[in-house]
Amino acid sequence: MIEQPPRPTVPPWLYKLFTGHQYPYVRRQAKFANRDFKPGEERPEPTREAIDAKFWEIYPRCTAKILEEVKAGMIVVFHELGEYPPGGYQALVDAPEEFLAAKYGKKKIKVNFYDGDNFVCTINFKVGGWTGHEPA
């Protein structure tokens, strides 16, 4: 029997972000991985087991990009603050608010996750007591 390497700790908020209905990347990958269908038929929704298996296939290879939301006149723009390789952001996953506050300070931050070049999901944080955009 081959022993599987231990899986990283994944809190419920992150699992739901990746597998929920708001961002369909993982669900869609699970749905189209099912080869048991006839052409022209509607593909069935993936089972929880299929979604879970696809999550554990995709999540370990995802990168994370940290962006700061900055108000520029009447629009909002995003400035890249950092990028983390697969497996290089466990501290972010374990305690996002604390990690982002310590690393980037008081800001409104967007964290994007990518599977290669494919966008997977995003989440926003108001970090370190952020209350509003600073006047320019």
Based on the fold, state whether residues 69 and 89 are members of the same structural domain.
Answer: yes
Helices (H), the chain: 12-19, 25-33, 48-58, 90-94, 96-104
Q: Which of 80, 23, 96, 99 minimizes the C-alpha distance to 55?
A: 23
How does pLDDT run across 5-35, given as a tens digit for each residue?
667 778 999 999 999 999 999 999 998 887 7
Based on the fold, state whether residues 27 and 56 are members of the same structural domain.
Answer: yes
Tell me how crowded residue 25 is: count the other CB atoms within 10 A of its CB: 19
Q: Is residue 53 part of a domain?
A: yes
Based on the fold, state whether residues 66 and 115 are members of the same structural domain.
Answer: yes
Q: Is residue 111 part of a domain?
A: yes
Q: Is residue 35 part of a domain?
A: yes
Q: Is residue 132 part of a domain?
A: no
How does pLDDT run across 108-120, given as a tens digit for each residue?
999 999 999 999 9
Q: Is residue 80 part of a domain?
A: yes
How does pLDDT run across 32-64, given as a tens digit for each residue?
887 777 777 788 889 999 999 999 999 999 999
Based on the fold, state whether residues 56 and 69 are members of the same structural domain.
Answer: no
Q: What is the pTM of this model?
A: 0.85
Q: Which residues contact 10 (CB under 8 A, 6 or more apart)?
A: 59, 93
The pairing of beta strand 75-84 with beta strand 63-72: antiparallel
Range of the domain at 28: 12-60
pLDDT beyond 90 at 77: yes
Domains contained in the chain, number: 2
Is-contact 5 60, C-beta < 8 A? no
